[in-house]
Amino acid sequence: MSVEVRTADGITEVVLDFPPVNALPVRGWYDLAAAVSAAGVDPDTRAVILAAAGRGFCAGVDIKEMQRTQRQQGGHEALLGANRGCAAAFAAVYDCPVPVIAAVHGFCLGGGVGLAGNADVVIAAEDATFGLPEVDRGALGAATHLARLVPQPLMRAMVYTCRTVTARQLLAFGTVLDVVPPGELREAARALAEEIAAKDPAVIRLAKQSLNGIDPVDVKRSYRYEQGFTFELNLAGAGDRARQAFVDGKQQ
């Protein structure tokens, strides 16, 4: 299990590899944040590709780790670690001084939506689906980022029902740049990264800064606001019940 970093020709690929479904443990979120941040501060980096190995892009947090840690140690340290780690990783993608391209295949759920929603550009495989199962897991969060991918009314319906949408639907909204066959995903992401990398790096870095500066939503503050309700659900016991039902196989 790792966050792999590969750099060539001014392009850094950050690849999630946490079998079987890329549900990241607490340490994984911090490692991802560190990898993206390090790539961005390197003056030789001109673009970052965020991708994943295995069956899907990202299934969010490792709920089994969270429940196991809570049972062994008590308290909410695992929940706090996951929430802070997610916030750090999402912020690293958003604040990265160079454009971040998310190459999404398979499932993009929960924290995966947080990563894709904060990326500058999303290129998706034909099999990609996006959604937030948070309500079924007794949590809230990443609606901030889902709202950057789908219209507001659909975002609300997706939060309430935990339904997913396809890459083709997002392409129609214009929030995914392109949809390609799964075997061509990395190549398509690389081609876009190379196009960006060919531009004047000083201009591109200021372009990223300027676009973040005119963003109508403070994604970091709004996401932390959402997370506050997850803590409230845990204090009421609802969060733990829902997570344990998932671990016990009572939820899909």
**Residue 249: what pLDDT?**
87
**Residue 15: what pLDDT?**
98
**Residue 77: what pLDDT?**
84
**164, containing H or E segment:** strand 164-166
Q: What is the mean pLDDT of residues 100-129?
A: 98
The better pLDDT of the pair 69, 50 is held by 50
Q: Which tens digit of pLDDT belongs to each residue from 127-146?
A: 999 999 999 999 999 999 99
Q: Which residue has the tokens 């392009």?
A: 11
Taking the C-alpha atoms of residue 21 and residue 18, their distance in angstroms, rounded to an integer, is 7
- Which residues make Cβ contacts (< 8 Å) with residue 105, sequence separation at least 6? 52, 56, 57, 124, 125, 127, 128, 182, 185
**Residue 252: what pLDDT?**
52
Model confidence at 205, pLDDT cuts 50, 70, 90, reads very high
What is the SS3 assignment for 53? coil
Helices and strands counted in the chain (H then E):
11, 11
Estimate the share of the chain in helix, then strand, then coil, as percent rounded to the nearest 5.
55, 20, 30
